[in-house]
Structure 1
Amino acid sequence: MGPTACGKSKFAIYLRSHLPIELISVDSALIYRDMNIGTSKPSFSDLSNHPHHLLNIKDPSENYSVAEFQRDALKIIINIIKSGKIPCLVGGTMFYYKALLNGLSILPESNVNIRKYILQENYNKNCLHDKLKIIDPISAIRIHPNDIQRVLRALEVFFISGKTLTELTQNKSNVFPYNVLQFAMMPPNKKWLYNKIKIRLDHMLSSGFQKEVEKLYYRGDLNVELQSIRCIGYRQMWEYLEYKTSFQEMLYKIIHATKKLAKHQFTWLKKWKDIYILDNQDFNLSVKIILDILKKINYIL
């Protein structure tokens, strides 16, 4: 794990020369085909020599849920273990890790007719939230009245299942069945990371990022509301292509959004339990840390 732009993918590839690992991507942007430059996807050469599972599995027109990731990752992990190798998950989508390790709540699928009924019975957002206060006061405290989609979802869950969202989220499915060692590759400081983010953006632009997004833009079947186009960099470039921002504004927004993502990832990692910190400046030292830990737990290589 680790914040964006800190070298997780490069280190994971480097680690393959020291351990019998197979790599599984934990990145909600790398799943998309034809989105290579803006996602900092490993090069064709790297992927040829060091294959990653769960890369390039979706067209940008398709969505991919955390439940699908959990299902797919578990299947791949089982197969890797059967082959006698070590599954190594690498990426920065922290919610994917959380869902994989802790399981997901079993919730009913959305129902259009139920939603229409709820909306017909309640005339505005305040009415919706007031109804939620009665049905599920704990969710009502947690969900802001202006967050209509989440309020509506909480009501929908109750109308479909007869149980509150609070009740159902206490029951988890598919809790991770394996022992796991967790490592975070951390930068020396935030200033270093923010400078790296700027350098990476310059490299993306010089590598043809704008042309990559233009190809997606002119396909005609994609829009800014899709999961793929909401990815950092693509959304901002999309707005620039629609003449909604200037080139400089677009660059500023990409940097700002990437810094915000990094801050969010730092917040997750500060709260994460049982995690070993690796030095992204010294790959050899980080490998030694991992090998020493494996020896301590008597893991046979």
Structure 2
Amino acid sequence: MNELLISVIGPTAIGKTKLAIELAKHFKTEIISADSRQFYKEMNIGTAVPADDELSQAPHHFIQHRSIQDDYSVGDFEREALNRLDTLYQKKDIVIMVGGSGLYINAVTKGLDNFPKVNAEIRLELNKRLDKNGISSLQELLKTEDFEYYKKVDLNNPHRLVRALEICIGTGRPYSSFLKSEKKKRRFKTITIGLTAERQTIYDRINQRVGLMVSEGLIEEVRNLIDYQHLNALQTVGYRELFNYFKGDWSLEFAISEIQKNTRRFAKRQMTWFKKNEQTLWYEFDTSSTQIQNDIEKLL
């Protein structure tokens, strides 16, 4: 087993993209993006897609390769990412993966539980329910359909709630009944590099990034997506808040403050997820890429 996957993780706005590019240049390799928000070509500013000059420094895969109208699951990503890795490992011994979507990272490194296919209309109806009645309606429904999963899922993550409920409704069985502990074998070894910082530093960086997004045209980007706000890809921070603004429910100032607040909450959930991996090598966000490269070289 000579192939190596270097997985760069951490909360949003911590500097993962920059480090991944530096590592890719150092090891003369390519980058797999495991950021589920950056898969969609219609979403650019609100998902912090790497700038053109960043993308030009190293080959990237799974950046804006799908449409928001596509039915694209974490299982689809697992299959496509593994196929791409098989291709890359024919010419590279090392590949970099970067992203903040813990479930998608685990799909590549450990494998997913197997779920049956269900009618896509169920997800659409659940997203409409979310939009009309709020996230509390999904929380209550999950409490009824699968109390075991309700007790451990992140109840503030609409994607997780919708995913669990579509399985419950589509199969007539609890989502938790499909969860297994055994993981699949991979052809590669994984080294996980985590970036972190003091909580206030993370929050300050998030607030600054949201302000930059607004100045770069986030409001107009979301305005152009109003007709598609019911789609699963758009049930995410930075978009839902501005949809409330365009509906007249919130002021613009309040919507922006909610984006900042919800992004901070998202970062906290990310760190809770990532801390479960005891093998992660953690570094302060301002650690030089040279030091991290040297540490990886020593491990190799």
Same fold (TM over 0.5): yes
> What secondary structure, in the 3-state scheme, does the structure 2 residue paired with 1:49 have?
coil
Q: 2:224 aligns with which of 204, 215, 222?
A: 215
The alpha-carbon distance between structure 1 residues 275 and 85, as it changes in their structure 2 partners (threshold 3 A), is: same
1:103·1:172 contact (CA, 8 Å) conserved in 2?
no
For residues 266 and 7 of structure 1, the distance between their equivalents in structure 2, rounded to whole angstroms, comes to: 14
Amino acid at match of 1:243: G
Q: CA deviation at 1:152?
A: 7.4
Q: Please, which moves more after superposition, 274-283 or 2-11?
A: 274-283
Corresponding position: 1:176 with 2:186: yes
Q: 1:14 aligns with which of 15, 22, 43?
A: 22
For residues 15 and 148 of structure 1, the distance between their equivalents in structure 2, rounded to whole angstroms, comes to: 36
Q: Which runs of 5+ in 1 are unaligned?
A: 114-125, 133-138
The alpha-carbon distance between structure 1 residues 86 and 232, as it changes in their structure 2 partners (threshold 3 A), is: same
1:43 aligned partner: 51
Q: Deviations over 1:204-231 (max 9, x none)?
A: 11111112222223xx4x12x3122212
Moved over 6 A (4+): 146-149
Q: Which runs of 5+ in 2 are unaligned?
A: 1-8, 122-139, 156-160
1:86 aligned partner: 94
Q: Deviations over 1:130-159 (max 9, x none)?
A: 8x7xxxxxx654446x98984673475467
Corresponding position: 1:247 with 2:252: yes
Q: Please, which moves more after superposition, 227-236 or 64-73?
A: 227-236
Question: How is 1:52-91 mapped onto 2 (pairs within 5 angstroms)?
Answer: 52-91=60-99
Q: CA deviation at 1:197?
A: 0.9
Question: How is 1:155-170 mapped onto 2 (pairs within 5 angstroms)?
Answer: 157=171, 168-170=178-180
Q: 1:153 aligns with which of 154, 167, 192?
A: 167
2:39·2:65 contact (CA, 8 Å) conserved in 1?
yes
1:135 aligned partner: none
Q: Deviations over 1:184-221 (max 9, x none)?
A: 0112x01011111111111111111112222223xx4x
For residues 209 and 112 of structure 1, the distance between their equivalents in structure 2, rounded to whole angstroms, comes to: 29
1:27·1:92 contact (CA, 8 Å) conserved in 2?
yes
Q: Deviations over 1:164-199 (max 9, x none)?
A: 865643276754332111110112x01011111111
For residues 230 and 112 of structure 1, the distance between their equivalents in structure 2, rounded to whole angstroms, comes to: 16
The alpha-carbon distance between structure 1 residues 154 and 87, as it changes in their structure 2 partners (threshold 3 A), is: same
1:289 aligned partner: 292
How high is the sequence identity, in percent, across the aligned residues? 28
2:206·2:260 contact (CA, 8 Å) conserved in 1?
yes
Amino acid at match of 2:256: L
1:104·1:172 contact (CA, 8 Å) conserved in 2?
no
Q: Deviations over 1:7-58 (max 9, x none)?
A: 0001111223321221111111100113211111111222133231000111
Q: 1:263 aligns with which of 268, 271, 288?
A: 268
Amino acid at match of 2:267: A
- RMSD of aligned Cα (Å): 3.2
For residues 216 and 149 of structure 1, the distance between their equivalents in structure 2, rounded to whole angstroms, comes to: 22
> What secondary structure, in the 3-state scheme, does the structure 2 residue paired with 1:104 have?
coil
Q: Please, which moves more after superposition, 174-183 or 38-47?
A: 174-183
The alpha-carbon distance between structure 1 residues 210 and 291, as it changes in their structure 2 partners (threshold 3 A), is: same
The alpha-carbon distance between structure 1 residues 101 and 244, as it changes in their structure 2 partners (threshold 3 A), is: same
Corresponding position: 1:238 with 2:243: yes
1:202 aligned partner: 211
Corresponding position: 1:185 with 2:188: no
The alpha-carbon distance between structure 1 residues 275 and 149, as it changes in their structure 2 partners (threshold 3 A), is: closer
Q: Please, which moves more after superposition, 207-216 or 5-14?
A: 207-216
1:63·1:228 contact (CA, 8 Å) conserved in 2?
no
The alpha-carbon distance between structure 1 residues 30 and 152, as it changes in their structure 2 partners (threshold 3 A), is: closer
Amino acid at match of 1:177: R
Corresponding position: 1:96 with 2:96: no
The alpha-carbon distance between structure 1 residues 8 and 109, as it changes in their structure 2 partners (threshold 3 A), is: same
For residues 152 and 268 of structure 1, the distance between their equivalents in structure 2, rounded to whole angstroms, comes to: 23
TM-score, normalised to structure 2, is 0.78
Amino acid at match of 1:242: K
TM-score, normalised to structure 1, is 0.78
